[in-house]
C-alpha cells in the first residue's frame, strides 16, 4: 500500500503511526491477499472488543443512574455493524480499504466491509499507540452519537430512536399500521407494523397499541442495522 494512501488515512484518524505496516494491514481485506492471516480479519476481531470496552466505559461513567439493561441498549445501538459502517463511510475510511477485483463493486463495501475496516483501524491504533490513542479516535467518531444517547434511548423508546434515524437517513417519518387485533374488548392484543420509505418491516404484537408500536419500531431498528438484537428480557415498553 502506497505511502500517500497511508498518510491520507492518518489524517482521517487524527493519529500518526510509528509503524505504518500495522495500518496497512488494517486496510487490507482478505479478498486481496492469498493468505487470510495477512488481512485485517484478526485486527477486526480485536478492534470490535476495544470499541466495546471504550464505549462501555464511557457509558458507565456518564450515565451513572442507568441500570445494566439500559446501558446495554445504548451500547448495542452504538457498536452495531450498521452504526460502524455509517461512520466508516462518513469519515471516508471505507474507500481506502484494499479489496480484491471481485469485491470492487460489492455493496458490502458500504456495509459489512466498511464496518470491519473501522474496527480493524481501531485495533491498529491501539497496538501502535495504546488504549488512550484508540479511545481518543473512538470518541472522535462516536462522541456525537453518545451525546444523543439521552433518557429516551435508555428507557427503550424505540419509536423515538426510529423517528430520529428516519429523519436523518430517509428524510421521512415512520408510519405505524394496525394489521390485526384479537381477543375480547377487556383483553385485546394488537398487531402493528412499520412502513418507512415504502419499506415494510416485521410486525409485532402487544397488549396495547403503544406496546405493539414500540416492539414494531424495535424490529425495524434491528432490520436497519441501527441496533443489535438484545435478549428479549431487556426490551422495555413505553
The residue assigned the cell 452504538 is: 78
The alpha-helical segments, DSSP class H, found in 33-157 are 41-62, 68-79, 81-90, 112-129, 131-147, 151-154
Q: Which of 105, 122, 149 is the last residue of a domain?
A: 149
Q: Which of 149, 178, 209 is the last residue of a domain?
A: 149
User: Which is catalytic among the residues 44, 48, 211, 213?
Assistant: 48
pLDDT in tens, 1-38: 788 999 999 999 999 999 999 999 999 988 877 788 87
Taking Cα atoms as reference points, which of 171, 160, 176, 175 lies closest to residue 226?
A: 160
Whether 64 is catalytic is no
pLDDT in tens, 199-229: 999 999 988 999 899 899 989 988 888 876 6
Whether 119 is catalytic is yes
Helix (H) or strand (E) holding 11: helix 3-13
Overall pTM > 0.85: no
Does 108 share its domain with 202? no
Q: Which of 149, 178, 203 is the last residue of a domain?
A: 149
Q: Give helix 68-79 / helix 41-62 axis angle, nearest 10°.
A: 140
User: Which is catalytic among the residues 10, 19, 44, 119?
Assistant: 119
Residue 185, domain extent: 156-234
pLDDT value of residue 153: 54
pLDDT in tens, 66-96: 788 878 888 888 898 888 988 999 999 988 8
Where does the pLDDT of residue 150 fall: very low under 50, low under 70, confident under 90, or very high at 90 and above? low
Does 189 share its domain with 219? yes
Amino acid at each position: 500500500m502506497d505511502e500517500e494512501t497511508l498518510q491520507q488515512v492518518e489524517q482521517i484518524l487524527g493519529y500518526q503511526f510509528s509503524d505504518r505496516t500495522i495500518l496497512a494491514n488494517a486496510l487490507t481485506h482478505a479478498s486481496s491477499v492469498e493468505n487470510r492471516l495477512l488481512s485485517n480479519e484478526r485486527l477486526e476481531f480485536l478492534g470490535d472488543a476495544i470499541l466495546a470496552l471504550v464505549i462501555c466505559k464511557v457509558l458507565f461513567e456518564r450515565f451513572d443512574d442507568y441500570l445494566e439493561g439500559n446501558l446495554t441498549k445504548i451500547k448495542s445501538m452504538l457498536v452495531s455493524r450498521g452504526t460502524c459502517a455509517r461512520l466508516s463511510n462518513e469519515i471516508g475510511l471505507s474507500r481506502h480499504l484494499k479489496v480484491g477485483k471481485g469485491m470492487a463493486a460489492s455493496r458490502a463495501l458500504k456495509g459489512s466491509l466498511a464496518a470491519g475496516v473501522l474496527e480493524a483501524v481501531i485495533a491498529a491504533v491501539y497496538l501502535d499507540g495504546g488504549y488512550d490513542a484508540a479511545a481518543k479516535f473512538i470518541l472522535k467518531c462516536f462522541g456525537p452519537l453518545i451525546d444523543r444517547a439521552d433518557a429516551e434511548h435508555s428507557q427503550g423508546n424505540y419509536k423515538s430512536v426510529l423517528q430520529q434515524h428516519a429523519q436523518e437517513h430517509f428524510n421521512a417519518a415512520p408510519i405505524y399500521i394496525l394489521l390485526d387485533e384479537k381477543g375480547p374488548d377487556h383483553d385485546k392484543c394488537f398487531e402493528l407494523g412499520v412502513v418507512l420509505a415504502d419499506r415494510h418491516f416485521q410486525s409485532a404484537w402487544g397488549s396495547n397499541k403503544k406496546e405493539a408500536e414500540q416492539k414494531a419500531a424495535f424490529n425495524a431498528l434491528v432490520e436497519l442495522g441501527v441496533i443489535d438484537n438484545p435478549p428479549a428480557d431487556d426490551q422495555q415498553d413505553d
